[in-house]
Amino acid sequence: MKYDGRMERRHFNVTTLNAELSGVLLSSSKAPYRKTSCRRLLLIHGAGVAGELTWGFVANYLQDWDEILIPDLPSMGGSAFHPQVNVGDCFNRGVGFELYIDSLHELLRCFKWNDFSLGGYSFGGLLALHLSEQYSLRSLALIEPAALLSAHVSDLIDRGRLYHDMGNEISSSPNSEYLFLQFLNTVSPDRSSDEKMDALAIKRLMAKPLGLAHGVLAVGEALQANAADYAAWAPNMPGCSFVGGLSGQLMNERHRLLASRSLEWQFHEIPESDHGLIYTRPRQIARLMDASLHVGWE
């Protein structure tokens, strides 16, 4: 990825208790750090596709950040769980989701980040909700977060069960293109039909099939365990959320409810887009993210 000369890109590797984490740190190459707060932004990707591949185009258009941290979650991109970690057993015991939360905690401790803004997409948005309860964030941006698919507890539990079954199926048959297409049909049921785009998405996901399987299992586990909390969640900080115009009424209504509960929260419906809006509307998303996230630094 190029960052228009505005940001310098540095690859990193961090060893945590459960994983080897990889990713990129983008640093401002022109302006010196502010004398007060260094504006830092953590961006967390969704299930299956690496961090920079997910966020790179959006990061190209973000403005006025001193540092942007884009990690790969374990078993995705360049990151991996340690060989001794039995991921399947962790999910069987209901603690698979915590592997991801623990890894992010250790990453933030390694970089000594305590004061930052946060953006999360899909599975990353679900993780971001948990981190927002554990850190004093400056601001938060959520792009179709998996935790906020509906305002109804029963809908979230049903989707959690569906993802649990889907994750197990992909784990058992990681070379089945049909299962990856089924995943796309689940997250974007009303998307515009485009065989080339579907083929590209499936190719990306199949590069690390267990990464998608583990991420989907983690979402399924979290939705079933925390459905009531997700259905009641309301923002207590400046921020924004994004939903594709083709992503359905239930999700749209859930995010309009967020905006109605806080004067500092903005909801953006992106017309003629689906769950892949982070790839198809990066300039628009970056502009709107900046407008909301920088409020937390003023």
pLDDT of residue 197: 84
pLDDT of residue 6: 74
pLDDT of residue 196: 87
> Would residue 256 be called left, alpha or beta, if left means φ above 0 and alpha means ψ between -120 and 50 degrees?
alpha
Can you tell me whether residue 14 is helix, strand or coil?
strand
Which of the two residues, 2 and 135, has the higher pLDDT score?
Answer: 135
pLDDT of residue 240: 98
- Does residue 91 lie in a domain region? yes
The pairing of beta strand 140-143 with beta strand 40-44:
unpaired
pLDDT of residue 35: 58
| CATH number of the domain within which 66 lies | 3.40.50.1820
- Does residue 129 lie in a domain region? yes
Q: How far apart (Å, rounded) are the C-alpha atoms in residues 280 and 119? A: 17
Summary mean pLDDT of the chain: 93
Q: 168 and 87 in contact (C-beta within 8 Å)?
A: no
Kindly state the average pLDDT of the residues 93-116. 96
Residues linked to residue 244 through DSSP beta bridges, in sequence order: 270
| Residue 93 pLDDT greater than 90, yes or no | yes
Question: Which stretches does DSSP call E strand in the chain?
Answer: 7-15, 19-28, 40-44, 67-71, 80-81, 117-121, 140-143, 239-244, 265-270
Closest CA to 125 of 55, 38, 213: 55
Look at 32-41, 160-169, 196-205 and tell me which has the smallest mean pLDDT: 32-41
Q: Show the domain range for 76.
A: 7-150+233-297
| Residue 160 pLDDT greater than 80, yes or no | yes
Residues linked to residue 140 through DSSP beta bridges, in sequence order: 118, 239
| Residue 253 pLDDT greater than 80, yes or no | yes
pTM for this model (two decimals): 0.95
- Does residue 159 lie in a domain region? no
- Does residue 104 lie in a domain region? yes
Q: How far apart (Å, rounded) are the C-alpha atoms in residues 40 and 282? A: 19
The residue count for the chain: 298
- Does residue 21 lie in a domain region? yes
pLDDT of residue 281: 96
Instruction: For residue range 25-75, list pLDDT tens digits in order.
Output: 999 876 555 656 799 999 999 999 999 999 999 999 999 999 999 999 999
- Does residue 181 lie in a domain region? no
| Residue 78 pLDDT greater than 80, yes or no | yes
pLDDT of residue 33: 59
pLDDT of residue 48: 92
Share of the chain above pLDDT 90, in %: 87
pLDDT bin (cut points 50, 70, 90) of residue 13 is: very high
Q: How far apart (Å, rounded) are the C-alpha atoms in residues 52 and 296? A: 24
- Does residue 219 lie in a domain region? no
**Count of domains for the chain:** 1
- Does residue 49 lie in a domain region? yes
The pairing of beta strand 80-81 with beta strand 239-244:
unpaired
Query: Phi, psi (5° rounding) for residue 239?
Result: 170, -165
Task: Count Cβ atoms below 10 Å from residue 93 Cβ, excluding itself.
Answer: 9
Closest CA to 74 of 174, 167, 211: 211
Instruction: For residue range 219-252, list pLDDT tens digits in order.
Output: 999 999 999 999 999 999 999 999 999 999 999 9
pLDDT of residue 298: 86
